[in-house]
Structure 1
Amino acid sequence: CEHVSEHGLGVLSGFSNLTSLSFKRSDGVTAKGMSVFANLVNLVNLDLERCLKIHGGLVHMKGLRKLESLNMRYCNYITDSDIKYLSDLTNLKELQLSSCRITDLGISYLTGLSKLTHLNLESCPVTAACLEAISGLASLMLLNLNRCGIYDEGCESFEDLKKLKVLNLGFNHITDACLVHLKGLINLESLNLDSCKIGDEGLLHLKGLVLLTSLELSDTAIGSNGLRHLSDLRNLYSINLSFTLVTDTGMKKISTLNSLKSVNLDNRLITDVGLAALIGSYWVDSP
């Protein structure tokens, strides 16, 4: 919406029955112009992705009590002071905040959003300390903490997120010590540990997550020995073992996972022998 101006937003004031509004990548949506949003009391879905001039304008959204979905991905200037105005939006179910300048303080303002099911904090400068506030979001089913720079300390708060189905922890500094706190998340269906500092013994804590359908282990220190802990994951549909230490021996360990449909082996340690073991056919063509 590159040609919508701050002045033009004013025409929206008469659309009090509007339930869905999207202004992706628009510089016309400014903090001042957002004053018109206060009249849109029936909004259910609001998409402001890449609207870079809305910092300071969320104060006009305090009365949008019917709002269920809010997308502010890549609104790079949104800070903690903006997030406090979301604390009364108790019907909010989905909140997208990727690449915003939100810290642990900003996350603390979300504790009353008991209906929140999807929370995306990718690339936000939060720490594992924010998990204490997040652990109170009892309805949470999807949590994206990709590229947040999280360490092990504070990860014990994961244990309270019993309804979680999707967890993205890729590109963080967590180790096997963090995975200890995931073993009780028995409803988990998708887990992303891409480029985390985990090894074989960490997978021991995942063996009880029998509903897992997708597991991302790329660029970790996982080797063939650790894959034995995954033998009970009968629902596993997709596994990424690229750039790990897995060898041909590891292929035999996952060959019993009959639900597998996608296996990423971008790995120079796998040979014809490993592929044959993976499909349960122990022949190898001679050159």
Structure 2
Amino acid sequence: MNGNGIERVGRIQLRVHDFEQSVDYYSNILGLDVTGQDDNRVYLKAWDEWDHHSVILEKSDYSGMDHIAFKVTNHDVLDKLERKIEQFGCDVKRVSNQSRLGEGEAIRFILPTGHTFELYHEIDYVGVPTGRLNPHPWPDGLRGIAPHRLDHALLAGDDVDTTMRLFTEILGFVQTERVVSVDSEQLIASFLSTSMTGHDIAFIKGPNAKLHHVGFYLGNWYEVLKAADILARNGIEIEVTPTRHGITRGETIYFFDPSGNRNEVCTGGYAVYSDFPTITWTEDKLGQGIFYHRRQLNETFSSVFS
């Protein structure tokens, strides 16, 4: 959908301080497949993702996000976007080929919210267990929650306005939904899509360079309910039990990894096209927008970041 050549969210690198427990959690409870490892990182993918990895776990003394990256259609797109991003005012650096396992060259820059963002084209192709010839709908041997793919991330920072302009004016994203204050229409949150989903990335006003959550896609509402069963059976604290969003209309559940990074698995939502009109929510209805059934935020959801 994106006219500027950005296809989709490709990967996220998370910092984890309990490394072995985190690898076990992401592979056996969340249900991702390990595809590689180097000195300080483990690489994972969901069963329905074709590229080498979508999640990187990095050994660290802290939790949070190292970077998030989106895949572009070709190297010409990468060169053009590099110039446009520099003209917007961001310093852009090149990440050399094979700096991380399976990855080609990328460009890296800092968003106005303080987050590290990358764009890339090349990454090793490994395929999916169902194959490409007369495939079954799902593979044998799935573990844990087993999401289909990395879906999105919600990030926190102070300058949501400039970041929204960067994504819409330079990177070609569609702002699908936004939250504004009741009196001044100050932008509080922005939901942005480069594909056909309700959001591939979103920003909410808060402390700079922080991760609110990383979301993974499930096939249906039953799988969200089953995720709650799997989490409970494994003693994982559930922050928000299965419910529905007003914003994006998604069906969802929230919980934390062993290092305190918030995870979401979700399904549902709507299709987005290039002419999709932005939906506006006012701050006084934010509780309804986030948790449509209870219509109020809980304390941790609005205050805990990593």
TM-score (norm 2): 0.24
By relative contact order (CA 8 Å, sep 6+), the higher-ranking structure is: 2
Give the structure with the larger helix fraction.
Answer: 1
Return the TM-score normalized by structure 1.
Answer: 0.25
Q: Which has the larger radius of gyration?
A: 1
